[in-house]
Amino acid sequence: AAAGETSWYGYARFVIERARTQGLPLALAADGLKPIPATEYPLPAKRPQNSRLNTGLLERSFALKLPSWEAGVARVLDEWVPN
C-alpha cells in the first residue's frame, strides 16, 4: 500500500488532471467531476465509514518510508500514456 489517503473523488481528479497535463484528449469537461457523499451512491453491501489502511506499524517495524499514492499513480500513467 502507498502512503497518504484520498477519496474516490480525489483519486479520479488526480488521474484526470494528470491526463490533461499530458495532453490527452478527454471527453469530460473541466468542471464535469463532482464529489458526492457515499450516502448518495447506494451499494448492495454496507460499507464502513472509514476504510483507510493504516501502514504506520509496517513503516515503523521495518524502517520504511512508503511512497505516496500520487507517485505510484503518476508512474503508471507515465508508463501507459504514449509519448
Contacts with 33 (C-beta within 8 Å, 6 or more apart), sequence order:
9, 12, 13, 16
What's residue 83's pLDDT? 63
Residue of 79 and 30 predicted with greater confidence: 79
Global pTM reads 0.81
- The whole-number pLDDT of residue 42 equals 83
